[in-house]
Structure 1
Amino acid sequence: MEELKIFLIVYFAAFLGVLPPGLVNMTVAKTCLERGKKNGMYVAIGASLVILIQGFIAVLLAKYIFDHPFVQRIMLRAGLVIFIILGIYFFIQARNNKTEVKSSNKSFNNNFYKGMLIAALNVFPIPYFCAIAGAMNVGVGVSYNWLKITSFALAASAGSFTSLYLYVFSFVKIENKVEKFTEYSNYFMAGLMLVLIVVTLFRIYNN
């Protein structure tokens, strides 16, 4: 019963955490517009697999992150560097935008690994899930309950995938505006990176 409670709470926390526009879900939406819904789904699946791993890592590191604030600072600084690099990349892509909507027969591997890479670069879920794990005493303390830990990680992945799934199928509503969206999507992503850079700097100097 305790495992079910953990699953439901973490599921909805993950769902709501991924729902606002962010690095992963906007990549899913952008892939849908450029390469179709199937490829967007592959990105979502790849990202969800990495989030499953991040859920496990978050629980197992929860105690250490709460006991050692310097770990938080290291993670934030690493995230800052990643967001700066991604921001520059998306800005260059926007300036040289020659995107066409297309599909690929080699879609699974390319987009599955793309989803994994984007999710791996997004470092914020780990401290987010660490905070949830600490609040629920999952993985905190001397003894670990692996059933609870597994339930936590599965819920984090499932909740995130549900949110990404909504992004994939909301593509239907904007499919007739593909050209306009793809024209500005890279600028939007670059702007998002700028916001994340500011937020990360704020967190670094207030940690």
Structure 2
Amino acid sequence: MDYFLHVLYGLLIAYLAMISPGMLNMTALKVRIDFGKNESEKFALGAAVTILIQAGVSLFFADYFVSNPKIITVLEKAGVFVFFSLAIFFYILSRNKVDPKAKSGKGNFFVKGFMMSALNMLSIPFYLASSIFLASKGYIVIEQPYILFFVFGVFVGSLLLFGTYIYFANIISTKVSFIAKNINLILCGVFIVLGIITIVRLFP
């Protein structure tokens, strides 16, 4: 039962953390609209694998990160540059007339999902803080084999969240045309917000 609860907590943390529109889920939705279900599932799997690794790193090295907060600060500073760079990139895309059915530049969406998820510098500090909070309340244990079950739950929760966005992508594209037509501009806004949040965290 303890193992199951660790999976459940990991699942809930991952799902609820990304349920609102954000970098990865909105990109998964964009891939679904532009290239189809199969490619969006590859993107989701790649992104979820990275999240699994990030959550694992957070818990495996929890004591080290707590003792060396400068590492987290360096990651967050790098994240500011990445987020604003991506905001500019998607703003430029939003100004161009692009055929959403075009297959050029399709590439490997598993790799794209993996790499884009790796750019999210907030993921490691988030799972570090979440796991420490849950452990302080006695909900989880930060030691093996409990860490593996919690991280597996994070992986499953991430896939379920991406699946939710992918499954409802057609409804969004047909019923909410504004989002479908302005997905690049929306992603630009998301990255700007993430960059601002990171700056606020760095300079409270």
AA matched with 2:55: G
AA matched with 2:31: T
Distance in structure 2 (CA, Å) of the matches to 1:175 and 1:84:
26
Unaligned runs of 5+ in 1: 139-143
Distance in structure 1 (CA, Å) of the matches to 2:201 and 2:143:
32
Matches within 5 A, 1:99-178: 99-102=99-102, 110-137=108-135, 145-176=143-174
Q: Deviations over 1:120-173 (max 9, x none)?
A: 1112221111112223449xxxxx733111112111111111011000000131
AA matched with 2:62: A
Unaligned runs of 5+ in 2: 137-141
The answer to whether the 8 A contact 2:80-2:199 is kept is yes
AA matched with 1:167: Y
Alignment-derived partner of residue 201 in structure 2: 203
- In the superposition, the TM-score normalised over structure 2's length comes to 0.88
1:82 is aligned to 2:82 = yes
Distance in structure 1 (CA, Å) of the matches to 2:2 and 2:172:
41
Please list every run of at least 4 consecutive aligned residues from structure 1 whose deviation after the TM superposition is greater than 6 angstroms: none
Q: How many residues align?
A: 200
The answer to whether the 8 A contact 2:33-2:170 is kept is no
* Aligned Cα root-mean-square deviation (Å): 2.4
Alignment-derived partner of residue 51 in structure 2: 51
- SS of 1:100's equivalent in the other structure is coil
The answer to whether the 8 A contact 2:49-2:114 is kept is yes
The answer to whether the 8 A contact 2:8-2:150 is kept is no
Give, in angstroms, the shift of residue 177 of structure 1: 5.6
Distance in structure 1 (CA, Å) of the matches to 2:102 and 2:93:
17
Q: Deviations over 1:46-81 (max 9, x none)?
A: 111111111111112221222222222112101111
Alignment-derived partner of residue 20 in structure 1: 20
